[in-house]
Amino acid sequence: MVKRAFPFFCFFLLLFTNFLSSHVRPPLLFSPDSLERKPILGVGEPDPARKESFPTYWGGSSLTQEDKQIQGVKVTYFTLEGGAWIQHKKVKLSASKIEVLGKDAYKAFLKNGVEVDDQENGTTLRAGSGDYDKYAEIVVIKERPRMFFKDKSGKTTVISAQLIERQLSTKITKLTGGVVISHPDVTILCKEALFQESENLITTDPNPFLVSKDRYLTGEKLSFYTNDNRILLEQNTVLFQTSYEKRQSENEEETTEKVITILKGDRLESSSDEKGERIVTLKGNSTVLRKHLKITADILQSVGTDSHTIRGKNNIKIEDRENRLILYGNVLDYFRKEEYMHITDDGKMEFLDSKTGAVTTTMTAQEFERFLDKGETVIRGNVLIKAKGSQAMGEYATYVEEEEIIYLEGNPRMDRAGKILRAGKILFYPREGRAILTEGVHLGN
């Protein structure tokens, strides 16, 4: 009985061996949630021919396997479907369908619903398709690719482009073609950009455009520091700010006026202060143009998304073309909504001839306060008025633009050829260089 069964057993064993040799056993599939980090035979095993090799884990709900000739080389080709995924070190790649080359997954093609999740860096990429290269450690995503990341304040930035290439080892992302960087505070448009996550820095190709609410910025070189939401523009920087301001006419009717403020400089830096307000700082040939005003300084600063406050420091020059005035100083505070301007530290005001533009009178003091809505300037502290052939001194003065008269008070006096004339008040006409002394005029030192 045993002798009869032995030939049958041998025949069965032969059939079973032939069956195994004609069918390659597919690798085991694992869920990424329950995955144990250890090499699994037949599942993303490392390439022993490479010195710096590492295993790549992958799986899905279903798998098909076949051998293909690719460029004359026989390659095992796997197709994963239904929640397909690849685990590259700490980065997970997923898609509806993934085609994998080789058991060590040295290349893969991701199709439909592609997602690259880098949890360690808080970065996610999504697209319609993608190409993965294990040993180059690169994934390239296409078909409406987008990149999502959060800064330390929790704000999410979304970047889109025609092509996004992610270097998985260096965490550097290259963005090519129609790049749009959408941050809650600003949108940046450019052709190409580079995101270096280790430095929290995005740089762009020359002359990008920046758009936010009622704002437009441009410059030759841009650096966006994502972690602290700081933007640095260099070389020929320009900012256009649109504001809508209420005006009251003589018949008490209130109207809304559209006003454009232009800020220019060699270097522009945009950041947020501790209150969350946007601060724009200009350095190098810094200029603010607003209606009939031109303000220049070594450093100019715009506060708020609507530029409600403009500050200046060092070598300040304010040209009022409408009223033919120039003010100088080293410290400026300009509150736009209140239409109030304060200038101190070597303050000076020059009055210009309406026809020639020549300086007719110069006035210096410790501080100047301009009330633009009233058309008045209040001057305080060691006021000195110089005109051709005469000069006047006092403690404070008021210049009324409509009347073109300086009212000098506080021990006012005039010096004419060494003779001191005193009065209770002096009315000085800066365009004409003449003065009227009133209220107890007398001669004496």
| Exposed / middle / buried, residue 15 (Cβ in 10 Å: 0-12, 13-18, 19+) | exposed
How many separate domains does the chain show?
A: 1
CATH for 408: 2.60.450.10
pTM (two decimals): 0.73
pLDDT of residue 40: 31
Residue 430 lies in a domain: yes
User: Taking CA 405 as the corner, what is the angle to CA 403 and CA 411, rounded to the nearest 5 degrees?
Assistant: 145
Instruction: Record the tokens describing residue 426, joined without a space.
Output: 């002096």
CA distance 292 to 307: 17
**φ, ψ of residue 77 in degrees (nearest 5):** -120, 120
- Structural domain containing residue 405: 346-444
- pLDDT at position 310 is 93
Which pLDDT value is given to residue 181?
Answer: 94
pLDDT at 249: 59
Compute how many other C-beta atoms are within 10 angstroms of the C-beta atom of residue 182: 14
Determine, yes or no, domain membership for 437.
yes
Question: Can you tell me the distance from the alpha carbon of 160 to that of 241, in angstroms, rounded to the nearest whole number?
Answer: 26
Beta pairing class for 146-150 and 123-133: antiparallel
Instruction: Return per-residue pLDDT of the chain as tens, 445 residues.
Output: 444 444 444 444 444 444 334 333 344 444 444 444 333 333 455 555 555 567 778 888 888 888 877 666 778 888 998 889 999 988 999 999 999 988 778 899 999 999 999 888 789 999 999 999 998 999 999 999 999 988 777 888 999 999 999 999 899 999 999 999 998 888 999 999 999 988 989 999 988 999 887 788 898 999 999 888 889 999 889 988 887 776 665 666 677 778 788 999 999 998 887 777 889 999 999 999 988 899 999 999 999 877 889 999 999 999 999 999 999 999 999 998 899 999 999 999 999 988 888 999 999 999 999 999 899 999 999 999 998 878 899 999 999 999 999 999 999 998 877 788 888 899 999 998 888 888 777 766 5
Q: Supply the pLDDT for residue 388.
A: 84
Domain contains 327: no
Note whether residue 379 is domain-resident: yes
Q: What is the 3-state secondary structure (H, E, C) of the chain?
A: CHHHHHHHHHHHHHHHHHHHHHCCCCCCCCCCCCCCCCCECCECCCCCCCCCCCCCEEECCEEEEEEEEECCEEEEEEEEEEEEEEEECCEEEEEEEEEEECCCCCEEEEEEEEEEEECCCCEEEEEEEEEEECCCCEEEEECCCEEEEECCCCCEEEEECCEEEEECCCCEEEEEEEEEEECCCCEEEEEEEEEEHHHCEEEECCCCEEEECCEEEECCEEEEECCCCEEEEEEEEEEEEEEEEEEECCCCCEEEEEEEEEEEEEEEEEEECCCCCEEEEEEEEEEEEECCEEEEEEEEEEECCCCCEEEEEEEEEEEECCCCEEEEEEEEEEECCCCEEEEEEEEEEEEECCCCCCEEEEEEEEEEEEECCCCEEEEEEEEEEEECCEEEEEEEEEEECCCCEEEEECCCEEEECCEEEECCEEEEECCCCEEEEECCCEECC
pLDDT at 250: 60
With 0-12 / 13-18 / 19 or more C-beta atoms within 10 angstroms meaning exposed / middle / buried, residue 28 is exposed
Q: Is residue 393 part of a domain?
A: yes
- Given a contact cutoff of 8 angstroms between Cβ atoms, the answer to whether 395 and 409 are in contact is yes
Question: Does 423 fall in a domain?
Answer: yes
**Beta-carbon-side half-sphere exposure of residue 150 (alpha carbons within 13 Å):** 8
pLDDT value, residue 429: 92
Domain presence at residue 368: yes
Per-residue confidence (pLDDT) for residue 63, from 0 to 100: 85
